[in-house]
């Protein structure tokens, strides 16, 4: 299990021990018994304290117990893969509304 993102893998979500507090981007006061998911793709930053991030990101972070966190981590990775596939499937369709609206703008 990856605990901290390695260089070159910065976009990959990580599951880490939840710091008691993050001050100036650094964990402070040790760690809680809980785990949290940090997903940069979703806009999260490991240097932000849990209390300073929006509710959407707090929901992703958890915190979780280890087994739940590992399962949530896997689910989150799968969710991103599905988003990528959905985006790839939708890509050709993006041009459609433009073509249709052009057709609709023709004079009657
Ligand atoms: Zn994410």
**Distance between CA 66 and CA 94 in Å, rounded?**
40
pLDDT in tens, 46-97: 999 999 999 999 999 999 999 999 999 999 999 999 999 999 988 765 555 5
Residue 7 resides in a domain: no
Distance 22 CA to ligand 1 centre (A): 20
**Number of compact structural domains in the chain:** 1
Q: What global pTM score does this model have?
A: 0.72
Residue 103 resides in a domain: no
Residue 80 resides in a domain: yes
Residue 19 resides in a domain: yes
Residue 43 resides in a domain: yes
**Distance between CA 31 and CA 44 in Å, rounded?**
19
Query: Is residue 24 a contact partner of residue 48, using CB atoms and an 8 Å limit?
Result: no
- Specify the pLDDT at position 1: 45
- Specify the pLDDT at position 71: 98
- Specify the pLDDT at position 2: 44
Residue 4 resides in a domain: no
Residue 30 resides in a domain: yes
Distance 54 CA to ligand 1 centre (A): 14
Distance 99 CA to ligand 1 centre (A): 33
Residue 60 resides in a domain: yes
pLDDT in tens, 11-59: 789 999 999 999 999 999 999 999 999 999 999 999 999 999 999 999 9
- Specify the pLDDT at position 25: 94
Q: Please determine, for residue 104, whether its predicted confidence score (pLDDT) is greater than 60.
A: no
Distance 87 CA to ligand 1 centre (A): 15
State which residues form the domain around 76.
14-94
Region label for 34, one of left (φ > 0), alpha (ψ between -120 and 50) or beta (otherwise): beta
- Specify the pLDDT at position 5: 43
């Amino acid at each position: 299990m990856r605990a901290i993102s390695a260089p070159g893998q910065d976009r990959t979500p990580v599951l880490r021990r939840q710091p008691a507090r993050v001050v100036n981007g650094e964990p402070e006061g040790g760690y809680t018994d809980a785990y949290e998911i940090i997903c940069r793709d979703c806009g999260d930053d490991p240097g932000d304290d849990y209390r300073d991030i929006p509710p959407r990101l707090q929901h992703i972070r958890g915190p979780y117990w280890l087994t739940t966190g590992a399962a949530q981590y896997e689910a989150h990775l799968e969710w991103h893969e599905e988003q990528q596939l959905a985006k790839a499937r939708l890509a050709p369709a993006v041009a459609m509304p433009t073509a249709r609206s052009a057709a609709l703008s023709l004079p009657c």
